[in-house]
C-alpha cells in the first residue's frame, strides 16, 4: 500500500492529466509518452520519425531532461515545434509540467505530439500526463533482463521498441528472451525490432503511428 503522501501526489497528477486529455481530445491531437533508460535511443528515434512523417502530418515534441536542451536543439533543427522542459532533478515528467508547455504549442495545428520523457526505467511509468499511449524503447545493449527487473514499465506501455539490433552480434542479449518476458507481463504489447542507425524495422513503427493518428483524427 502506498503511503498517503505518495497516493495524494499520484491522485492530484491524475486529475491534471485527465484535464490534459480533455484538451488533447478537443484539439484532435494524438499524444505519445516516450520512455526509456538514458541512451536507449529516444531522440534518435524521434529524428528518424520526423524525417519520415513530418510531410504527412504535423508533429510537435516536448523534450524532458533533468538539465540542458541538447536533445531539443537536435529536434528543432528538423523544423518541428519543440518545447524543452527541464525538471531540475526530478526523474520524470508529470501532468502539470506538460500543462505548462501548452502555451508554447499550437495544439490545433498538430496531428501528433510526442513527449520524450526523462531517461529512467522507474518513475515515468507511474505518472500519466494525458497521453493516448505509453511507448518504451529498450536497447539490446541494456541486456535482456530488464522486463523482469522493471515490469511496471512494460506493463504500462502499449508499444515496445527493441532498438540497436545492429549491435546484436557484439552483445550478450536474446531478443527472444526480451519478447517472451515482456509478453508475459503484458500480452497486449506491440513489439518492433528496430535499428535507428540502419533504419531496419522502422517501417512497421511508422505504419503504427499512421494508423493511430488516422484513427484519432
Query: pLDDT of 55-109, one tens digit each?
Result: 899 999 999 987 777 888 898 888 899 999 998 778 889 999 999 999 999 999 9
Looking at residue 8, its pLDDT comes to 62
Cβ-in-10-Å burial (0-12, 13-18, 19+) of 74 comes to: middle
Position 184 pLDDT exceeds 60: yes
Position 4 pLDDT exceeds 60: no
Looking at residue 5, its pLDDT comes to 46
Looking at residue 91, its pLDDT comes to 86
| Cell numbers linked to 106 | 499550437
The alpha carbon torsion through 64, 68, 71, 77 (nearest 10 deg) reads 120
* Alpha-carbon torsion (110, 112, 116, 117), positive or negative: positive
Min mean pLDDT across 3-12, 16-25, 95-104, 206-215 is at 3-12
Give 149 or 90, the one with higher predicted confidence.
149
Looking at residue 1, its pLDDT comes to 45
Q: Which whole-number Å values give the CA distances from 13 to 58, 67, 94, 118, in the listed order? A: 28, 22, 7, 17
Position 13 pLDDT exceeds 90: no
The answer for residues whose C-beta is within 8 angstroms of residue 101's C-beta and 6 or more apart is 62, 83, 85
Total number of domains in the chain: 1
Domain span holding position 111: 4-216
Position 3 pLDDT exceeds 70: no
Average pLDDT of span 122-132: 93
Average pLDDT of span 190-216: 97
What stretches of the chain show up as alpha helix (H) in DSSP? Answer: 4-26, 42-53, 70-76, 95-101, 146-149, 151-156, 175-185, 202-216
For residue 70, what is the domain's CATH number? 3.40.50.300
Place of cell 506501455: 157
Considering just the CA atoms, what is the radius of gyration of the chain in Å? 17
Looking at residue 31, its pLDDT comes to 98
Amino acid at each position: 500500500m502506498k503511503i498517503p503522501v505518495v497516493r495524494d501526489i499520484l491522485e492530484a497528477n491524475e486529475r491534471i492529466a485527465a484535464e490534459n486529455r480533455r484538451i488533447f481530445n478537443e484539439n484532435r491531437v494524438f499524444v505519445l509518452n516516450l520512455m526509456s533508460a538514458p541512451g536507449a535511443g529516444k531522440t534518435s528515434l524521434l529524428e528518424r520519425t520526423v524525417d519520415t512523417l513530418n510531410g504527412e502530418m504535423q508533429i510537435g515534441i516536448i523534450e524532458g531532461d533533468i538539465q540542458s536542451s541538447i536533445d531539443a536543439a537536435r529536434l528543432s533543427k528538423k523544423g518541428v515545434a519543440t518545447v524543452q522542459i527541464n525538471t531540475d532533478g526530478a526523474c520524470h515528467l508529470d501532468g502539470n509540467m506538460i500543462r505548462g508547455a501548452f502555451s508554447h504549442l499550437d495544439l490545433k495545428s498538430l496531428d501528433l505530439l510526442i513527449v520524450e520523457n526523462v531517461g529512467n526505467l522507474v518513475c515515468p511509468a507511474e505518472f500519466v500526463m494525458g497521453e493516448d499511449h505509453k511507448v518504451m524503447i529498450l536497447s539490446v545493449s541494456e541486456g535482456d533482463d530488464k522486463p523482469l527487473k522493471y515490469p511496471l514499465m512494460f506493463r504500462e506501455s502499449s508499444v515496445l521498441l527493441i532498438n540497436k539490433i545492429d549491435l546484436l552480434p557484439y552483445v550478450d542479449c536474446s531478443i527472444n528472451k526480451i519478447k517472451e518476458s515482456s509478453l508475459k507481463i503484458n500480452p497486449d504489447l506491440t513489439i518492433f525490432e528496430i535499428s535507428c542507425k540502419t533504419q531496419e524495422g522502422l517501417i512497421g513503427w511508422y505504419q503504427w503511428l499512421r494508423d493511430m493518428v488516422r484513427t484519432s483524427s
